[in-house]
Structure 1
């Protein structure tokens, strides 16, 4: 079983309802995931986004630059229920989504990976391991660039974000 980073854009009203009714939020997340699995919208048009297994690589890289928002795990838990996967789901309010979008846009992936050696990832036990392959850091580029576009679209719409590991 893999650990996968998951995101769902929600309106402010949907965030309020998710906080009050986490089961409703889980149903919403599953409905949106199922619908978008078939249509595969671009990150800027999607309500759901996944970083797949790159979530821990991105966490490691963003921590190195002291990223101001926890875009990998979210910041505020809204459910204790383990039905979401690995640990409780969390959320980012619209103002934190805007801050994250601005910061993601300001840091390109090449800048983010500058000076990082694969051995450093192996030593830090960054999931999913296997960092000895040449070009292993490039594996995270599409996820980072997609995440950036996803957050930018959410910020333009003044959306909040649900975040979880599944």
Structure 2
């Protein structure tokens, strides 16, 4: 199946409780109707949004937060969160990224050199289309959470 970039919408109250009680995540995780994902596109989208490929030093201060979240909840699993205010800000920022601009950042040779996940066959024209489709899904995830005034829990798993 592979590693999937997953998002879980949460209210501010649920997020506050989670930060006080980390085991509360197990209950939140059961709300499948609030979960969305960007499939295996997370590393490619991170690269297109930030220009970075290195996952040892994740950029949590820019659009990289749309992929990996902001503050880390659980270091071992990489589970992180974004508050409803951060989601609103990032939704606005994502809205202004034109598909053509994102497409112009697609550099298959460079992405292959960095061996961006999932790096099964290498990056090519089909994979570019896949990333652009998943970018639209990412925007929809953030837009939905923002409209509902919710935060997001993020993880790759």
- TM-score normalized by the length of structure 2: 0.84
List aligned pairs for 1:121-140, cutoff 5 A.
Answer: 121-129=111-119, 130-140=121-131
- TM-score normalized by the length of structure 1: 0.80
Contact 2:80 2:155 in 1 (8 A): yes
Question: Unmatched 5+ residue regions in structure 1?
Answer: 37-46
Give the alignment partner of residue 52 of structure 1, picking from 14, 20, 39: 39
**Counterparts of 1:78 and 1:136, CA distance in 2:** 31
What does residue 22 of structure 1 align with? 22
1:101 aligns with 2:91: yes
Other structure's SS at 1:26 match:
helix
Other structure's SS at 1:25 match:
helix
**Counterparts of 2:81 and 2:11, CA distance in 1:** 12
**Counterparts of 1:134 and 1:156, CA distance in 2:** 33
Comparing 18-27 and 148-157, the one that deviates more: 18-27
Residues 51-74 of structure 1: per-residue CA shift (max 9 Å, x gap): 111000111001139983411111
The change in CA–CA distance for 1:59 and 1:115 in structure 2 (over 3 A counts) is: closer
**Counterparts of 2:123 and 2:41, CA distance in 1:** 15
